[in-house]
């Protein structure tokens, strides 16, 4: 059924699926926030448009390579078996060419519209996610998402670099927030998808250490994340609006994870995972509003 559905899709749509559009959109959103926070005024249109597009293309290239490397793993999992890479609808050669074109185009755009620093930082982020995390860490250790989370946390620093041509401590605070947000976000998904991961053979924490151990670590990382989310205020890069919002959003996240610890259900794990996405989006949006207010 999945294979026949993919055959009905136009080729451009099949390639588009490989770029993981929703994840890419969240990454670019965080990069754009980094751009605006890097300046007291407005971001020049040249950098905003060209830089955002360059980061989008390189992120898309990284996700396409991720799908290629994991095509056999994806084929075993219900959540990913429909991807054109997993079904064989797109060949290895075509995916490599597609990724190379996106990656090269993204680097040229960042070089021309932003600066070489942003281009190289984004390129090394691409390598960190597509190669180091996907190829080496993910199948090697149950701490894969923790160690490899740095590459996924880099977008605010990339956006900041595009505008300021440097990455100051303020940018790294934003990276830190995403870095410690990633484990509770991902492990909530891994819990209700544990059967899928069991089939895949990947050593995800719920499968290697069990449900209760994973839930405890979700709560602990959420506490660390809540503390990290207050650092922009402590450092002086935000005001009371952000502080109060970060506390409210973080306490709600913590409430979800504590409930999950004591009353686990797949339904609640899904709700926690979905809230985690809203949490990060709202936190960064309010940080931006606070910046201009």
Residues 226-278: tens digit of each pLDDT: 999 999 999 999 999 999 999 999 999 999 999 999 999 999 999 999 999 99
**CATH 1.20.120 intervals, the chain:** 168-293
Tell whether domain 1-164 is in CATH 1.10.357.140: yes
Helix and strand tally (H, E) in the chain? 18, 0
| pLDDT of the residue at 95 | 96
User: How far separated are the first and last CA of the chain, in Å rounded?
Assistant: 52
Residue with tokens 């995403």: 178
- From the candidate CATH numbers 1.20.120, 2.40.50, 1.20.1300, 1.20.272, the one assigned to the domain spanning 168-293: 1.20.120
User: What is d(CA 278, CA 289) in angstroms, rounded to the nearest whole number?
Assistant: 16
Handedness of CA 132, 133, 138, 142 (dihedral sign): positive
Q: Which stretches of the chain score pLDDT less than 70?
A: 1-7
**CATH 1.10.357.140 intervals, the chain:** 1-164
| pLDDT of the residue at 225 | 98
Characterize 206-245 residue by residue with b for buried, 16 or more Cβ atoms within 10 angstroms of its Cβ, and e for exposed. Answer: bbeeebeebbebbbebbbbbbebbbbbbeeebbeeebbeb
Q: What is the rounded radius of gyration, in angstroms, for the C-alpha atoms of the chain? A: 19
| pLDDT of the residue at 1 | 42
| pLDDT of the residue at 6 | 55
């Amino acid at each position: 059924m999945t294979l026949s559905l993919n055959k009905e899709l136009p080729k451009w749509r099949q390639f588009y699926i490989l770029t993981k559009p929703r994840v890419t959109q969240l990454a670019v959103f965080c990069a754009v926030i980094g751009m605006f926070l890097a300046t007291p005024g407005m971001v020049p249109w040249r950098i905003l448009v060209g830089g955002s597009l360059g980061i989008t293309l390189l992120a898309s290239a990284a996700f396409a390579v991720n799908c290629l490397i994991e095509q056999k793993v994806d084929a075993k999992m219900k959540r990913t078996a429909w991807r054109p890479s997993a079904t064989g609808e797109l060949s290895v050669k075509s995916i490599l060419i597609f990724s190379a074109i996106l990656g090269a185009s993204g680097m040229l755009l960042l070089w021309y519209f932003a600066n070489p620093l942003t281009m190289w930082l984004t390129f090394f982020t691409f390598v960190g996610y597509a190669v180091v995390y996907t190829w080496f860490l993910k199948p090697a250790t149950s701490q894969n998402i923790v160690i490899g989370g740095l590459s996924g946390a880099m977008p605010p620093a990339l956006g900041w670099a595009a505008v300021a041509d440097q990455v100051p401590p303020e940018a790294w605070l934003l990276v830190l927030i995403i870095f410690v947000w990633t484990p509770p976000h991902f492990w909530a998904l891994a819990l209700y998808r544990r059967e899928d991961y069991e089939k895949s053979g990947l050593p995800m924490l719920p499968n290697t250490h069990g449900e209760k151990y994973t839930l405890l670590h979700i709560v602990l990382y959420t506490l660390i994340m809540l503390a990290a989310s207050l650092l922009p205020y402590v450092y002086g890069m935000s005001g009371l609006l952000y502080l109060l919002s970060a506390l409210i959003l973080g306490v709600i996240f913590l409430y979800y994870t504590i409930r999950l610890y004591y009353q686990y259900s797949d339904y609640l794990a899904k709700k926690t995972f979905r809230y985690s996405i809203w949490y990060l989006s709202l936190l960064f949006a309010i940080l931006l509003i606070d910046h201009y207010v």
